[in-house]
Amino acid sequence: MTCLAPVSVDLDLVLADLGTGGRLVHLERIAARAARPAALARPLPPAVQGALGVDGFWCHQVEAVDLARAGRSVAVATGTASGKSLCFRAPIAETTTDPVHPGTALCLFPTKALARDQLQAFAELDLPGLVAAPFDGDCSPDERAWARRHATVLCTNPEMLHHGLLPHHRRWATFLMRLRYVVVDELHAFRGVFGSHVAHLLRRLRRLVAVHRSGLRTARTEPTLVACSATVGEPAALAAALWGSPVTAVTDDGSPRGERLVALWQPPLLDRERTTAPMVSPTGPPVATERAGTALVDEYDTGRSRTRWSSGPTRGSAHVETALLLAGMVEAGHRAIAFVRSRRGVELVAADTRRRLPDALAGTVRPYRGGYLPAERREIEAELHGSALRGVVTTNALELGVDIGGLDACVLDGFPGTIASFWQQAGRAGRERRQSLAVLVAGDDQLDQWLAAHPGELFARAPEPAVINPANPYVLHPHLRCAAFEAPLTHDDERWWPGLLDDGVRDLVAGGVLQVRRPTGRRRSPSAVVATPGYPADGVGLRSGSGREVRITAVDGTP
């Protein structure tokens, strides 16, 4: 694809040109910041330093790398594009290439796209001994077997750790015996029920590492956690709850940053008379928007319309304003990303953006969302990374730290729900120290309108802390069953589930899920083992509190 982009226009001028009719209700300027370099307590090997391609480190990177190399678990919570990945790439590169005691690393990412992105970064280091491999649902059986035999750095996600590695840990004995680092990237994504499940996954992983190292004489009995997050409150508390051991926070960001503009955008008020909606549906022609009493109909000709009710003045569609802004940024020579809440909204906004652009630029804007085939995702990611695309419309699938090249602007189609997510999405622009712009387009719900009326709250509030609850019995019990399948549970396992193990095992034994074996000559204490056939992991869904599926139907039985 040939990218025909005009010479870029200053972002302030673009805003002034597009923000007519009172659309621009607030503009916040966040000043540029200079870098604060520092030196490592112990220099890296020359080959590793050269492969990393950096002349030096910023102060937060130095603090994190020094802690990790000393065997102390760390949670790095600094701004987007602050070089957090280097905080785990440097110690991993050092340990995998150690000529005397080489180690391995397991990198856990919440999405396959992020795992593949970091996999490419590891491969580009081109160091002997550092063999990075993916382990996800897109891998063939042969690729998984190759990773098991050869990988020293495994890039995976929680589902594959749960289903593909832990139940079959004996096949991974060598990898686990040498495991030095566990990376949890995008820490803020591991919250709620999902985070509670991942907390038990990590406890099961640490337990199996101890099992496979039990006969070894080594000074390092536990792997070290390196967790990274751009925007989350109380990162050390979240990381410690996930890991099950104390974690040190690194939050003093020493990276440089260009000036950042943050704008709040209000769609214009609609006339009470019938007007033509400027947005185009990908499945039908443009449809008029009309105000009838207090009902507003602004859907597309897809065979189904919806009425939104409002007690006061009604504003235009946030989708329309998002497409207007994205098209304006692309036409002005900037690369931009737009975040939309739904998959359907992504397709609508992308179609309308392309319609607004000249033919030479229309092909440089594409949608990106869940549901695409792996080959389609890889193609779009490659075009983003290589600057072939000028604009992309996405759900939160690209909210996480996938390297998508230098972006100048970001448009948020509605407030994403939390301050943490807002800054995570806004931070996707300005990743190369240039001036950047983030625009929050207010939707029609009350929270969006309240923020538009009180913009100072958006900048004064700290990111929310993420909360998990590993003690939730609907999460705890299935994982104890999985742990008993992997290796019999004993009183020694209280170290992994303090205060939870005894009651959990008793409940599972009472339910016929586990059974207790009495001590024998070889076993000095009683142990709990599974009492049912099959793989327990198959019945545990990590994204909900129950692995069971339900079908919701109407009274007459129709879905």
The yes-or-no answer to whether 11-31+259-268+315-460 and 473-539 have a common fold is no
pLDDT at 405 over 90: no
Taking residues 341-350, what's their average pLDDT?
92
pLDDT at 287 over 50: no
User: Across 180-184, 190-194, 425-429, 518-522, which has the greatest mean pLDDT?
Assistant: 180-184
Give, in order, the Cα–Cα distances in Å from 120 to each of 16, 115, 457: 40, 9, 39
User: What's the pLDDT at 434?
Assistant: 81
Q: Which of the residue ranges 209-218, 306-315, 508-517 would you say has the lowest mean pLDDT?
A: 306-315
Distance CA(390)–CA(264), nearest Å, equals: 23
CATH topology of domain 473-539: Arc Repressor Mutant, subunit A (1.10.10)
Give, in order, the Cα–Cα distances in Å from 460 to each of 86, 145, 356: 30, 50, 36
| pLDDT, greater one: 510 or 13 | 510
Q: At a CB cut-off of 8 Å and minimum separation 6, what does 171 contact? A: 148
User: What's the pLDDT at 396?
Assistant: 79
User: What's the pLDDT at 82?
Assistant: 86
The answer to whether 170 touches 192, Cβ cutoff 8 Å, is no
| pLDDT, greater one: 312 or 457 | 457
pLDDT at 410 over 80: yes
Taking residues 450-478, what's their average pLDDT?
93
What tens digit of pLDDT does each residue of 235-275 get?
999 999 999 999 999 999 999 988 899 999 999 887 644 44
Q: What share of the chain is helix, strand, coil (3-state, %, to 5)?
A: 40, 20, 45
pLDDT at 296 over 50: no
Domain boundaries, the chain: 11-31+259-268+315-460, 37-250, 473-539
Distance CA(474)–CA(530), nearest Å, equals: 17
Q: What is the CB neighbour count within 10 angstroms for residue 531? A: 15
- CATH number for the domain running over 11-31+259-268+315-460: 3.40.50.300
Say which CATH superfamily domain 37-250 falls into.
P-loop containing nucleotide triphosphate hydrolases (3.40.50.300)
SS3 for 331-399 is HCCCCEEEECCCHHHHHHHHHHHHHHCCHHHHCCEEEECCCCCHHHHHHHHHHHHCCCCCEEEECHHHC
CA dihedral 174, 176, 182, 188 (to 10 degrees): 130
Give, in order, the Cα–Cα distances in Å from 424 to each of 137, 146, 193, 472: 26, 35, 21, 28
**Mean pLDDT, the chain, whole residue set:** 86
Taking residues 382-393, what's their average pLDDT?
83
User: What's the pLDDT at 219?
Assistant: 54
Distance CA(522)–CA(505), nearest Å, equals: 22
- Amino acid type, 258: G
Taking residues 493-509, what's their average pLDDT?
95
pLDDT at 425 over 70: yes
Distance CA(253)–CA(243), nearest Å, equals: 23
What pTM, to 2 d.p., does this model score? 0.83
* 111 backbone φψ class: left, alpha, beta (φ>0; ψ -120 to 50): beta
The residue count for the chain = 559
